[in-house]
Chains A and B, each alone.
Chain A
Amino acid sequence: AQSVTQPDIHITVSEGASLELRCNYSYGATPYLFWYVQSPGQGLQLLLKYFSGDTLVQGIKGFEAEFKRSQSSFNLRKPSVHWSDAAEYFCAVGGTTNAGKSTFGDGTTLTVKP
């Protein structure tokens, strides 16, 4: 069975500081990996996705993530956090895009200090 672990429930960073959100997955084959952001009262927005190829993927809003097969990880990074990045972040794993059956992690809440 596929699963996703986001070890950090809550992270606080200062505005302008760098950010890394951790994600570990369990999947029996090559995974399709996603990061989503959910702002308060908003729906889910896809930040970036990995299917194959270059293990460093670029997303929207200046985010990037690196797929490391040996570590079963897909950590999300941003070099300089903005106050508007405060939100809930979800990592998800799926078999194929057309399966639609993604498994989500429990999420990491990001707080940005002025």
Chain B
Amino acid sequence: SAVISQKPSRDICQRGTSLTIQCQVDSQVTMMFWYRQQPGQSLTLIATANQGSEATYESGFVIDKFPISRPNLTFSTLTVSNMSPEDSSIYLCGSTDYNEQFFGPGTRLTVL
């Protein structure tokens, strides 16, 4: 299966700023997606990103807050905009391969 890397692995940010998380896959994939895992909670899908089209956001998530780029078949970014302490979470990117889903190691974000 493909291997996914994420940058940064963790960050501490100030309220009102923005952070862009990068996700790199070591092979070409059609679909990439972004999940959020708030402290002590499960994973919630933010959006699905296909190359060449706009991301599809799940209920409760909007593009202005979580803009996503997908410039090619191996890379995606998620920006967390105008951050507040409620955005403190682990953000995971992932993709699917035939018969398997796989995830990056996550980005642990703390907003002060």
Contacts and interface: CB of A to CB of B under 8 A. Distances in A.
B41 A106 contact: yes
A interface, how many residues as a size bin? Answer: 20 to 34
B85 to A, nearest CB: 21
Contacts of A44: 43, 92, 103, 106
A97 B102 CA distance: 11
Nearest to B98: A97
B106 A43 contact: yes
B96 A98 contact: yes
Given A43-B104, A46-B101, A94-B101, A100 B41 contact: no
A77 B43 CA distance: 22
B95 interface: yes
Contacts of A92: 43
Interface string B33-57: 1000000011111001000000000
The secondary structure that dominates the A interface is mixed
A23 to B, nearest CB: 12
Contacts of B48: 100-101
Contact of A97 (B32, B44, B45, B99): B99
Given A104-B43, A106-B42, A43 B105 contact: yes
Nearest to B4: A43
Interface string B73-112: 0000000000000000000101111111111111000000
Interface of B: 30-33, 41-45, 48, 92, 94-106
12 contacts: A43-B104, A44-B92, A51-B99, A94-B101, A97-B97, A97-B98, A98-B30, A99-B31, A102-B101, A104-B43, A106-B41, A107-B41
